[in-house]
Chains A and B, each alone.
Chain A
Amino acid sequence: MKRRETLKTITLSSLGLAGLNPQVAEADKLMLPDEPVKVPGGRQKFEAIRDAKLKLDKFFTPHELQTVTILADIIIPADSKSGSASQAGVPAFIEFMMKDQPRMQTPMRGGLRWLDNQCTKRYGKPFALCPKTQQIEMVDMIAYPEQAKPEVSQGVAFFNMMRGFVATGFFTSKMGIEDIGYKGNTPNNWEGVPEDVLKQYGLSYDG
């Protein structure tokens, strides 16, 4: 048996999750090169094989990726404290999630199409090719769920999803974790809430 076939048998029978859930089954369709997959610490073998396959696949077209990148940086731009969503690698994370959880593909691809279609109707061009002012005008129509007009409700749903992906992607990146100021994930000794914080909230450990 060639290695490729061996891998296929391994994933389908003993290790794979084909048939378990569509997310996981999807990965089985892809082919791996003939090098053995290295299993990183903390992963099960079937997960390592699956991840390797997903990384070989591509979901977004260059145009879609460009649109996602523009939207990501509108949602989380650089400021005095940290960089932008794209600088933190958010588009690549979204690309991976599309392959990892294929049920997200239609809302994402369809949402991008919806956006391009709206922009073409209004401005004669797809979103990515519109000037910044028009992009922002469009985003303003869908970024505020409680103010948006009913006729753009699908755009609101799409933007909510985009906002969620961008926030998760940014704040789980190294840059985003530094920005948010998370101080843990390191050996330490928990001795309680710092004294000045207790004082600020009028709390104590004696009461």
Chain B
Amino acid sequence: MNDFQIKKAAKVYDVAIVGSGAGGGMAAYTLSKAGANVVLLEAGGYYDPKDPKYITQLKWPYESPRRGAGTTRPFGDFDAAWGGWEIEGEPYTSKPGTEFHWFRSRMLGGRTNHWGRISLRFGPDDFKRKSLTGIGEDWPIGYDDVSPYYDRVDKLIGVFGSKENIRNEPDGIFLPPPRPRLHELMLKKAAKGLNIPVIPSRLSILTKPINEERGQCFYCAQCGRACQVYADFSSSSVLVIPALKTGKVTLINNAMVREVTTDQNTGKASGVSYVDTVSMKEMSVQAKVVVLAASACESARLLLNSKSQRFPNGLANSSNVIGKYLNDSTGASRGAFVPALMDRKRYNEDGVGGMHVFTPWWLDNSKLDFPRGYHIEYWGGMGMPAYGFGWGIEGLNGKIPGRDGKPKPAGGYGASLKDDFRRFYGAYVGMAGRGEPVPLESNYCEIDPNTVDKYGIPVLRFHYKWSDYEVKQAKHMQDTFEEIIHSMGGIALGNKPTAENNYGLEAPGKIIHEVGTVRMGSDPKTSALNKFQQAHDVKNLFVVDAGAFPSQGDKNVTWTILACSMRTSEYITDQVKQNNL
């Protein structure tokens, strides 16, 4: 049999969507509900959080021989991510002296099965950074364009939070937030004294039921394992599976899309070609509209690899901008020990899968030496013991007097050490800043001229360096963390990061909020997509992941991916009706 003969399906779908994560799931949902015949191509396998085949929720650490260690899954044995920083047979490279880490999940729902569920709207300023500060880029749209879609995403998917009336931290349509845990109340009190706001977090978790299909949160703190009663947002359970029920969606799993195909006469997209990763056969589907949602970097890769006579630069790339302006959130963190929390009374304080409070950006950058803000995420409490429990206690127990009030030497063993573990349990807190970088043309991904993956698809090569802006922001984070820790009477753990290690600034990509690689804009010379995330050069081609975003705010990006994907999907329906595509 000849594997290289491309199998072409005879059917022409209304829309082909590549990728089933946040962007693709929302597009499949919105377009199928509007009556379109959709083919959804997903490189990974089928996944449903409620199928016992896949469930890891409510398992105990001792049900894993490695007690949950992250040997084959970066966030641990029970995490609902198939894939990780590296995937066998699917390499990526980086230019010497630069670094980028790329997290990919290969499964229905992509990275939304295990994401942190932090669901923040961008604020009005986040769309207009260039106008406000002279650096970076404006979006071709503003908060008012997106806000009706944020409202509808809030209602469709559900998010808890509180009305705060903070101008650049817009309120949504919120379910009730869970009450703070003990350490969160202490953090809040400590931060208040420093004029740092701590408000209820905003997570897409159902603290109240919103429909028949989905259950209510039962507070197991394990959203990272994906919720079997569908009480948290995963694209698989909340968007794709309901979309399949319309009967309008043909889902093809294990379909690794290679290229967007084009009609060389009209210059329009005609469908996609893909490799069936199980049979290794070359396949293709035809569609009147192509929507890319393979995640920011992967969508850029697809376009750059879709070269033809008519599009020698890659598809939709007459601007030459595709791959450029790649940017990820900044991140830095610090842990602490809080003596006041020693010898705690035990009770179940699992709560939801994530923090119950957070700190939105609260300062005015015009008074600081860096141009963009960050928010702070918190953790701590009496969580389920996991792999890593108790390591490094020798760095701490010499600083804490024993029950008799007398100092003890660090380290040790035996009954007194065993007692330390009990005394210290639940007395750790931690905090992490997640900030906005300035997007730069010099941070990019491109096609590696020398390397292909196991399907023969040319892979991405990254070139990414932080600028001074981000390093200064990380310094500010570290100073803030120490202030908060000291103000709550805590002992900061480890050494304070310094200039030598960029103040603990995580390597690019590590925060997993990549955006910007197929950016939208009003000028076709400096952007690939128009304000509806439609390719300037190819009118029936759209990108609905974060590749389209010129910048990323000091917010996590996924709620904006969802809102913008819904907006673009409705635009597609409208344009089809008007015969414009």
Known A145-B394, A185-B220: A41·B413 in contact at CB below 8 Å: no
Contact residue among A18, A50, A173 (Cβ-Cβ distance under 8 Å from B72): A50
Contact residue among B60, B88, B384, B418 (Cβ-Cβ distance under 8 Å from A76): B418
Contact residue among A74, A181, A190 (Cβ-Cβ distance under 8 Å from B350): A190
Confirm or deny: B181 has a beta carbon within 8 angstroms of a beta carbon on chain A: yes
Task: Please give me the residue from chain A that is nearest to B351 by CB atom.
Answer: A190
Complex CA distance for A143 and B393, rounded to whole angstroms: 12
List B58-99 residues whose CB lies under 8 Å from chain A: 58-62, 65-69, 71-72, 78, 82, 86-88
Contact B60 A174 (CB under 8 A): yes
Complex CA distance for A207 and B198, rounded to whole angstroms: 13
Contact B88 A18 (CB under 8 A): yes
Measured as residues with beta carbon below 8 angstroms from the partner, the interface class of chain A is 35 or more
Q: Which of A1-9, A20-28, A58-66, A107-115 contacts B (4 or more CB under 8 A)?
A: A20-28
- Residues of chain B lying within 8 A (CB to CB) of residue A18: 88
Confirm or deny: A133 has a beta carbon within 8 angstroms of a beta carbon on chain B: no
Contact A184 B390 (CB under 8 A): no
Known A160-B411, A169-B67, A191-B179: A79·B418 in contact at CB below 8 Å: yes
Q: Which of B47-55, B462-470, B501-509 contacts A (4 or more CB under 8 A)?
A: B47-55
Complex CA distance for A171 and B389, rounded to whole angstroms: 7
Contact B410 A145 (CB under 8 A): yes
Question: 1/0 per position for A153-192, CB-CB distance to B under 8 A?
Answer: 0001001100110111111111011011111111111111
Confirm or deny: B340 has a beta carbon within 8 angstroms of a beta carbon on chain A: yes
Contact B71 A24 (CB under 8 A): yes
Task: Please give me the residue from chain A that is nearest to B277 by CB atom.
Answer: A14
Confirm or deny: B367 has a beta carbon within 8 angstroms of a beta carbon on chain A: no
Confirm or deny: B245 has a beta carbon within 8 angstroms of a beta carbon on chain A: no
Contact A184 B384 (CB under 8 A): yes
Task: Please give me the residue from chain B that is nearest to A16 by CB atom.
Answer: B88
Complex CA distance for A114 and B564, rounded to whole angstroms: 61
Contact residue among B60, B222, B398 (Cβ-Cβ distance under 8 Å from A177): B60
Measured as residues with beta carbon below 8 angstroms from the partner, the interface class of chain B is 35 or more
- Residues of chain B lying within 8 A (CB to CB) of residue A186: 58, 220, 348
Contact A184 B350 (CB under 8 A): yes
Confirm or deny: A139 has a beta carbon within 8 angstroms of a beta carbon on chain B: yes
Question: 1/0 per position for B369-400, CB-CB distance to A under 8 A?
Answer: 00000000000001111111111111000100
- Residues of chain A lying within 8 A (CB to CB) of residue B55: 41-42
Contact A194 B394 (CB under 8 A): no
Confirm or deny: B156 has a beta carbon within 8 angstroms of a beta carbon on chain A: no
Confirm or deny: B1 has a beta carbon within 8 angstroms of a beta carbon on chain A: no
From B53, B60, B71, B352, residue with most partner A Cβ within 10 Å? B71
Task: Please give me the residue from chain B that is nearest to A185 by CB atom.
Answer: B384
A37 to chain B, nearest CB (A): 14
B380 to chain A, nearest CB (A): 13
Contact A51 B65 (CB under 8 A): yes
Known A176-B385, A189-B219, A201-B186: A143·B411 in contact at CB below 8 Å: yes
Contact A183 B348 (CB under 8 A): yes
**Chain B at the A interface: mostly helix, strand, loop or mixed?**
loop
Confirm or deny: B218 has a beta carbon within 8 angstroms of a beta carbon on chain A: yes
Confirm or deny: B167 has a beta carbon within 8 angstroms of a beta carbon on chain A: no
A187 to chain B, nearest CB (A): 4
Confirm or deny: B46 has a beta carbon within 8 angstroms of a beta carbon on chain A: no
Contact A185 B411 (CB under 8 A): no
Task: Please give me the residue from chain B that is nearest to A167 by CB atom.
Answer: B390
Complex CA distance for A88 and B344, rounded to whole angstroms: 24
Known A20-B88, A145-B394, A188-B219: A75·B414 in contact at CB below 8 Å: yes
Number of A-B contacts (CB under 8 A): 209
Confirm or deny: A56 has a beta carbon within 8 angstroms of a beta carbon on chain B: no
Contact B391 A168 (CB under 8 A): yes
Contact B411 A93 (CB under 8 A): no
- Residues of chain A lying within 8 A (CB to CB) of residue B182: 193, 197, 201, 203
- Residues of chain B lying within 8 A (CB to CB) of residue A180: 385, 421-422, 425
Contact B389 A163 (CB under 8 A): no
A88 to chain B, nearest CB (A): 9
Confirm or deny: B581 has a beta carbon within 8 angstroms of a beta carbon on chain A: no
Task: Please give me the residue from chain B that is nearest to A96 by CB atom.
Answer: B65
B572 to chain A, nearest CB (A): 35
Contact A182 B382 (CB under 8 A): yes
Confirm or deny: A147 has a beta carbon within 8 angstroms of a beta carbon on chain B: yes
A154 to chain B, nearest CB (A): 15
Confirm or deny: A106 has a beta carbon within 8 angstroms of a beta carbon on chain B: no
Contact A144 B410 (CB under 8 A): yes
Known A20-B88, A77-B414, A172-B68: A201·B340 in contact at CB below 8 Å: yes
A96 to chain B, nearest CB (A): 5
Task: Please give me the residue from chain A that is nearest to B61 by CB atom.
Answer: A172
Task: Please give me the residue from chain B that is nearest to A168 by CB atom.
Answer: B389
Task: Please give me the residue from chain B that is nearest to A205 by CB atom.
Answer: B179
- Residues of chain A lying within 8 A (CB to CB) of residue B220: 184-187
Contact B351 A75 (CB under 8 A): no
Known A17-B88, A184-B349: A42·B178 in contact at CB below 8 Å: no
Contact residue among B278, B346, B349, B411 (Cβ-Cβ distance under 8 Å from A146): B411
Known A184-B350, A185-B58: A172·B179 in contact at CB below 8 Å: no
Contact A23 B71 (CB under 8 A): yes
Contact residue among B277, B348, B387, B410 (Cβ-Cβ distance under 8 Å from A172): B387
16 pairs across A/B with beta carbons < 8 Å?
A17-B72, A20-B88, A54-B65, A75-B414, A79-B418, A167-B389, A168-B388, A171-B389, A171-B421, A182-B346, A183-B348, A185-B58, A188-B348, A188-B350, A191-B179, A205-B179
Q: A24-B71, A93-B65, A146-B411 are in contact. List 7 more A-B contacts (CB 8 A).
A: A17-B88, A21-B86, A100-B69, A160-B392, A168-B388, A180-B422, A182-B385
Chain A residues proximal to chain B, CB less than 8 Å:
14, 16-21, 23-24, 41-42, 44, 46-47, 50-51, 54-55, 74-77, 79, 89, 93, 96-97, 100-101, 139, 143-147, 156, 159-160, 163-164, 166-174, 176-177, 179-194, 196-198, 200-201, 203, 205, 207
Q: Which 4 A-B pairs have the closest CB atoms?
A: A167-B390, A192-B179, A164-B391, A184-B350
